[in-house]
Chains A and B, each alone.
Chain A
Amino acid sequence: MKLVPRGLALAGWAGRYVWSGWAGVAGLFCLAAAWQAGHEFYGSFVLPSPLETLQAISVIVREPSFAKVARETAERSLAGFVLAVGIGTTAGAIAGYSFAAMRLMRPIVTVILGVPPIAWIVLALIWFGSTGASAVMTVVVAALPISFAGGLEGVATRDRALDAMARSFGAGIWMRFRTVTAPHLISYLFPAWTTTAGTAWKVTVMAELLSNSGGIGGELATARALFDIPRVMALIVAVVAFALITEYVFLHPLRDRLERWREAGLPWGVKR
């Protein structure tokens, strides 16, 4: 009985979500128009046209090796993402609960934040050599501070009045974390997670390119050496597409599901 309206609600939400994508597509086409204008001004050697790039993409995706390098890069960014988010969020949450831990960890994170990612790549190359591990490590240290800050802020700003309410009903620590702190924390973590997901793709490709350890970054290095500009553009577009897919196919729907209560509070006109 309850399944049918729930299925309908889900279908309605999915329809609205996909429909809202049109605005994004329109924006992307504006960008493509500007790109075309640049191409006509500078010529194919500096900036291949969107059409040439599309053709190059269609060639690349048919190469069997592309699937392999794309998977390599995806696995590295995923590993980096999971580690950065896991370690960062946990450490941040602990710091949010414990004043002493916060005093101790804040400066460490500030120092990590101060070191430019490029320096981490050099260090990672020395420590791990030309392997995937150096790309993963670079992603972790580059993206960890954002999750740390999100976890710290989320736990530190939890509603103590609600916590007292939960205690008055005899709720234990775990239940209070699950029902009072975690839903509040999520709203701090999502911005951190979307940024981390984007950073993970970008930094992985950069580390791969510099450490010559295969993946899309490695392909990019080869294409650059051969002056195959359309291929360079195609690889760039592919990475951007992967980052967009991660954000809009995985993270945003998850957020919408978890934060339904927030949408309920919006005035009618603002609802999608």
Chain B
Amino acid sequence: MGCEAMKLALESVGHAFLGRPVFEKLDLSLVEGEVVALIGPSGCGKTTVLQIAAGLIDPLRGRVRRAYRRHAVVFQEPRLLPWMTARDNIAYGLCAIGASATARVEVAERRAREVGLHPEDLDKFPVELSGGMRQRVAVARALAVDPDVVFFDEPFTAVDVGLKRALQDLVIEAAAREHFSALFVTHDLAEAVRVAHRLVVLSGSVEGLAASRVIEGKPGERNDRIVFEMVETWSRDPAFHALFDGERERIR
């Protein structure tokens, strides 16, 4: 998809926390409608890349170019406001961009339906929802603002396998339908292969990206056997070794 418009570009971005470098000279770009999975071992700086891309922290070096109106973030935890009902939580982003009250209610109810929430759940507070329902609300809240780019930070690590599939399908469908670009952070190779068009691996050491692979076919059209075989093939690829070797946390 080389000819499509560039939505987001990180150009030789580097970052360090308290003088400890996390990564250097990282280049990453997203074109329109493209879902890129960012994968890497725990603690390698995936969340940091995502926060820089979403403008939540400023990179120490390099620059970020954005060519879109609006983005949304789905965090590692649902991050719902406990004092607002599910409906108001979904409408939170709309509130921030100044949508009218009627538009907020209408959009919140439509998005809730899309992510599989019952209308009666909308009047509940987050404490009254199950973990999976909370993550659904978080996804609905991100989609509610009609984003051009969505950042997902390991959104489904805390839910069980069946629900994980359902939520992944939900993201795949939404991306195909609404044609947003997405950066999908995960440490699960199978999840990356299911949802993304392209896969980039953040290496365990400081130098930045270890590999970038285009995944054949379209997300949603790959069946379980294809996904399984791709994961099998790539797990023998040296570029992916950091993901599978025994030490989970990087020791510096």
Contacts and interface: CB of A to CB of B under 8 A. Distances in A.
Contact of B84 (A161, A168, A175, A261): A261
B79 A165 contact: yes
Tell me the interface secondary structure of chain A in the complex.
Answer: helix
A175 B95 contact: yes
B96 A166 contact: yes
Given A175-B96, A264-B128, A167 B82 contact: no
B126 to A, nearest CB: 8
A261 B96 contact: no
A265 B96 contact: no
A168 B92 contact: no
Interface string A135-160: 00000000000000000000000000
A168 B72 contact: yes
Contacts of A175: 95-96
Chain B contact-residue range equals 20 to 34
A27 interface: no
Chain A contact-residue range equals 20 to 34
Nearest to A187: B83
A259 B81 CA distance: 13
Contacts of A183: 81, 83
Contacts of A161: 75, 77, 79
A9 to B, nearest CB: 11
A162 B83 contact: no
A10 to B, nearest CB: 16
Interface in A14-54: none
Most buried by B among A162, A169, A170: A169
A180 B95 CA distance: 13
The 6 closest A-B pairs by CB, nearest first: A265-B127, A169-B93, A168-B73, A183-B83, A171-B96, A165-B79
Interface of A: 161-162, 164-172, 175, 179-180, 183, 259-261, 264-265
